[in-house]
A and B are shown apart, each in its own frame.
Chain A
Amino acid sequence: MSTKTIEEKQYLLRFKCDTKSHLTVLDYEVCKTNCPDKLCTVFCPAEVYKWEGNRMQVGYEGCHECGSCRIGCPHQNIKWEYPKGGHGIVFRLA
């Protein structure tokens, strides 16, 4: 069947997760007080960023390592690195 939700899409993927996040929110206060739109929760293609009421949750394990959050964060509030060598997403097809 063809996927309908982001959860179903993410479920198709293989990840080799590191124990440490390669994505770091520099200042959680900025998300809370300076960023009403919380755009990263909208445009992130893997729904890595989720606003949990009063704190940004970063589900780095499902990251496609595209770089959108680093470039798109209006406050340059995300430190973005590559996961440790051999870790992170493993594309098998395209």
Chain B
Amino acid sequence: MPDKFDVIVVGAGPAGTSCAYVCAKNGLNVLLIERGEYPGSKNVMGGVLYRKQMEDLIPEFWKEAPLERPVVEQRFWMMDKESVVQFGYKGLEWGMEPYNNFTVLRAQFDQWFAQKAVEAGVLLINETVVTECLVENGKVVGVRTDRPDGDVFADVVVLADGVNSLLGKQLGFHNEFRPDEVALTVMEVINLPKEKINDRFNLHENQGCTIEIFGDSTKGNLGTAFLYTNKESLNIGVGTTLSSMIKAKLKPYDLLDYLKNHPMVKPYLEGGESAEYLAHLIPEGGYHSVPKVAGNGVVVIGDAAQLVNAIHREGSNMAMASGKMAAEAIIAAKAAGNFSESSLNRYREALYDSFIIKDLEKYKDAAHTFEKHPQYFNEYVPMLNRAASKFFTVDGTPKRVKQKEIMRSITKEKGTIKVMQDMYRAWKAVK
């Protein structure tokens, strides 16, 4: 193995593999370093992979990638203890080309994707931890690994080392994250025969459904739960900000079991067989937590750059897009023979000009607002359920009277001004 590359990418997740793939396709010498036994063995995601950003890398990838089901229905649940208010969308157009998104199992998908990068010319080295960036005269010149004689050099080092990004911290690009900047999420994969899944979720072959669950799924804490359909298994998971978990003294696996046994959820899982249990952090600090993303001889992409839109459960697509943008900046830097921060800032500019930072900016106050004001999860969701129950129960009361009673019960509970304030605050945070 040569000890100098054009590019070293640390981490073979969606961000790192995308970046490595595009660099190699454009003739650069790329080393992709993965600490796990294989790409995907350390990677966790609820399970939704968006088509657009993946297709920008590999056209018609759905014809060969290991995918579970194309999602044709997205449901949203506002759940109380013994009830749920639902809305959603099901559209057959999502079940045909070019599709909108798919459920995937990451350990399988990431291996396939990394193999595509290898076919494009990337050198993939598994089972290797990068312990630090090598810095000379203010420029990152390579990495130190935990292998004997493990120093490797490159013009550019790409940090795709995930949510914990110890390497970004080493370079001073970000401080240690606070517990309110990360969400601790746990999930289980539960095997269930295909026919049962299709019946329970009202699906045909090769159709998938996703359910996002708010409210009692987190016992009213800031977070969400999800239930996704794979081919012959379900992914069920729940997460809250680590700070909420700490404040409420919740054990994450107890919360998961609470969800699995919730009367609104349990019938979907009945008879299922647990196959895997997984925990992971999600970077949810948003716009304000995005670290420095370009320096001399170094760029930061994906979760390592905190590129997650928690409100829309987008992350892997942002990882891929940021990896591609970083690759394009590196290719331009190579052509110019200039790997300085000002040259690599082309990546930063592309990132800030894209949907990624624009969307994070849109929701920059959302996490903070909902963390500080948990009433949206623990008061309004139950209120909404009570209102729906009242409105749809036929008891001889005229509908206009019911409407008035519902409005009165809400304002009486909280006070009219308080309710108006809450609504205005929520609107401001997501507008």
A residues engaging B (CB < 8 A)? Answer: 1-4, 6, 8-10, 12-13, 16, 37, 39, 42-43, 45-47, 64-68, 70-72, 76, 80-86, 88-94
Contacts and interface: CB of A to CB of B under 8 A. Distances in A.
Nearest to B282: A66
Contact of A9 (B44, B128, B277): B277
A71 B243 CA distance: 10
B388 to A, nearest CB: 29
Nearest to B249: A42
A1 B280 contact: no
Interface string B260-278: 1000000001001111111
7 A-B pairs closest in CB distance: A86-B127, A45-B279, A9-B277, A64-B279, A85-B127, A67-B164, A85-B128
B232 to A, nearest CB: 11
Contact of B189 (A16, A47, A89, A93): A93
A46 B260 CA distance: 18
Contact of A93 (B105, B252, B260): B105
Contact of B42 (A8, A65, A84): A65
Interface of B: 35-37, 40-45, 47, 105-108, 126-129, 145-147, 163-164, 166, 176-179, 182, 184, 186-190, 233, 235, 242, 245-246, 249-253, 257, 260, 269, 272-281
Contact of B277 (A13, A65, A80, A90): A13
10 contacts: A12-B277, A37-B249, A42-B249, A43-B245, A45-B279, A64-B278, A71-B179, A83-B129, A91-B278, A92-B41
A8 B274 contact: yes
Contacts of B107: 91-94
A91 B242 contact: no
B181 to A, nearest CB: 8
Contacts of A93: 105-108, 189, 233, 275-276, 278
Given A46-B279, A68-B182, A85-B129, 13 more contacts: A3-B274, A9-B253, A9-B274, A10-B277, A64-B280, A71-B176, A83-B129, A84-B146, A86-B128, A90-B36, A92-B107, A93-B275, A94-B187
A2 B269 contact: yes
A86 B34 CA distance: 9
Contacts of B269: 2
B272 A2 contact: yes
**Central interface residue in B126, B184, B277, B279, by most chain A CB within 10 Å:** B277
B246 to A, nearest CB: 5
Contacts of A70: 164, 176
A43 B47 contact: no
Contact of A72 (B126, B127, B179): B179
Contact of B129 (A2, A46, A68, A82): A82
